[in-house]
A and B are shown apart, each in its own frame.
Chain A
């Protein structure tokens, strides 16, 4: 397989995952602005921050304001990371790697693009927003399903999977990075724990509210939320789960190519952090520091994968 193709598959699935994640965040912000209008502004600010787009937004639109932010994240042509831009990026990469995709996967991506191009050709009205967000998640899921159901489990599949989980872990980590302070044990001591709107944002932004409740019998506790999103191997959006998948798929590549590279060592090291540490150890080390380290090292892993598998010259 061409190095370019490996890179195209990696990015195609990263873009799709990111589009879906952005949709989740809009969903979370929307929910809060409907239920707790007093907290809405700061939550929108946090959401913008976790997408890494605060500066772009501020330079274009100034003050954070719900409807503007939604349009900015959905379709603003000046936002290179809008959902529409992500979908366009995914499709462009899909065209580049067309020969590595099954017809099902290509058609699912292409249709996703065509549907969203139409839906997002104009600002989305408030009453249509939940439906549009649902379609975005659904279309992205269709692509995942087509991949799951039709692609041979070889290197092509592995690079796509690595892209998906790389982006997902990155996203979960960024949300945690924005909100780590409300998950610190000290917060409980301060006694503000009763107002769990911010916990709610975290869970909603990762679409894990229901999963959390099922596994924790409704008890909301910051330590449990942190453990859930970082270490819980049952949750498909946790860091531990995502990295297990990355390690696994890199392992398949090592087997297929009969070669281990530096990226394997980096991935093993990252995975090790979730296997050997419990939540107390992480808090002791510092939650913020732990997540910062993770974001730094995972970015390095991403660069190393590109080098080891020759995505570009």
Chain B
């Protein structure tokens, strides 16, 4: 770090003694012994393995099923802090939804000169097939995962808005189950808001977006690419918890004007499809013709009002990192309010002046691919070697449009349990918001990802990150 900033530790703040939200937990912790907790840690791992909460690593055929390490020290958020966050997330989700509607209709934001047309024209996630389509209930982003980081007492930043198919909610739920299983007594000492209602809320929220063609109680299904997908566990888990069918593309076809699934008793129409398959693979007839994961004609049934697809096709444009840099404007344009949650200042490398600044300051910046995810293809300047920086410089110069850069944030830390006791590690937070025509429903909690390597700022599970249970305290 250039100025060696002191990191904000969420348990201990900057001073001595625990911060208020952690007081009760720390009192409990003081009475525990490290060896017993380490044993519990192993117990938790065995439990996760047995349940099968595993993920697959792309391009690693040998280690097909891995566990995301779970750290049993919770990340605790005070009621007051949560109130601010959830208000800010709701505002953002509503703005994103309005933005998507606008982008696929009149593009008022472009007409008003608040966003250049190229931002959309050059964006690969923009789906022309969605132009003029109004999804049932006018909901585009049924599920949003907002990635937040913290740098100080009241300093939160939004890092990313995941508006395609955000994953990780099964960890939010299983982490809590595991904590309840291992430390039941702890939950009588600390009043933590429940997250277990999420699957029911999801079911209700999706059902509220059923298409006009739906008769009676909406029939839901979760579309998965299959058991080899890295998030298959989550797909099966959510289908199971929502009492929805877990389907793959080859279980579905267009029958009598609807998308229907092949059951033991013939084809049955689906009303709402929670798809965990990317746009590109959703419909070989309308998108990538080589896709084996999708359903031919589903886009046509969708455009005819015969099915709800959640999230709507084409929402990817809203979680593009270049569009992200316009989020403060987007929030203001569609809600008429200032954004409650701050954006990280972002340099768009497509702009020559910004590019020059970024190239001059590579060792201090974080540079990301515009469409990248999973922590791949990014440069963390302060942690990179000279060689890595020079290699990245070449990539950046060759294709500046493809990158944005941000200052390296002093991400807050929360302690994890190690052999030598507690040790601070950097974290981020992904709460999950559900949107239906009536409301935005944000589950109090979320997925806390933690960089397990000392000093590391990359929390992605594919890059050696772990997870924690996230506690939002009752008022």
Contacts and interface: CB of A to CB of B under 8 A. Distances in A.
Interface in B216-244: 227, 232, 236, 239-240
A195 interface: no
Interface stretch (B3-11, B44-52, B300-308, B311-319): B44-52
A58 interface: no
Contact of A4 (B232, B240, B248): B248
A310 interface: yes
Contacts of A217: none
Interface string B233-270: 00010011000011110110000000001111110000
Bin the interface of chain A by size. Answer: 20 to 34
Contacts of B52: 95, 98, 106, 110
Contacts of B247: 2
A140 to B, nearest CB: 17
Nearest to B222: A99
B236 A257 contact: no
Given A99-B245, A107-B51, A110-B52, A1 B240 contact: no
Contacts of B51: 103, 106-107, 110
Interface string A174-217: 00000000000000000000000000000000000000000000
A112 to B, nearest CB: 11
**Interface of B, helix, strand, loop or mixed by DSSP:** mixed
A92 B264 CA distance: 20
Contacts of B263: 1-3, 310
Contacts of B240: 98-99
Given A2-B261, A6-B264, A106-B52, A98 B250 contact: no
A107 B50 contact: yes
A46 to B, nearest CB: 37
A257 B262 contact: no
A6 B251 CA distance: 12
Nearest to A114: B49
Contacts of A4: 248, 250-251, 262
A268 to B, nearest CB: 20
B223 to A, nearest CB: 12
A96 interface: yes
Contacts of B251: 2-4
Contacts of A95: 52, 227, 232, 236
A103 to B, nearest CB: 8
Contacts of A111: 50
A128 interface: no
Given A1-B264, A257-B264, A310-B263, A99 B246 contact: yes
Contacts of B264: 1-3, 6, 155, 253, 257, 309-310
B232 A310 contact: no
A92 B50 contact: no
A99 B265 CA distance: 18
Interface string A236-254: 0000000000000000010
Contacts of B266: 310
A100 to B, nearest CB: 9
Contacts of A114: 49-50
Given A2-B251, A107-B51, A110-B50, A98 B262 contact: no
Given A98-B236, A313-B250, A257 B50 contact: no
Nearest to A311: B264
Interface string A254-268: 000101000000000
B239 A313 contact: no
B239 A99 contact: yes
A-B residue pairs, 9 tightest by C-beta: A98-B236, A99-B240, A309-B264, A3-B262, A95-B227, A99-B246, A6-B264, A99-B239, A310-B262
Interface of A: 1-6, 92, 95-96, 98-99, 103, 106-107, 110-111, 114, 155, 253, 257, 259, 309-310, 313
13 contacts: A2-B245, A2-B262, A3-B251, A3-B263, A5-B245, A95-B52, A95-B227, A95-B236, A98-B236, A107-B50, A114-B50, A257-B264, A257-B265
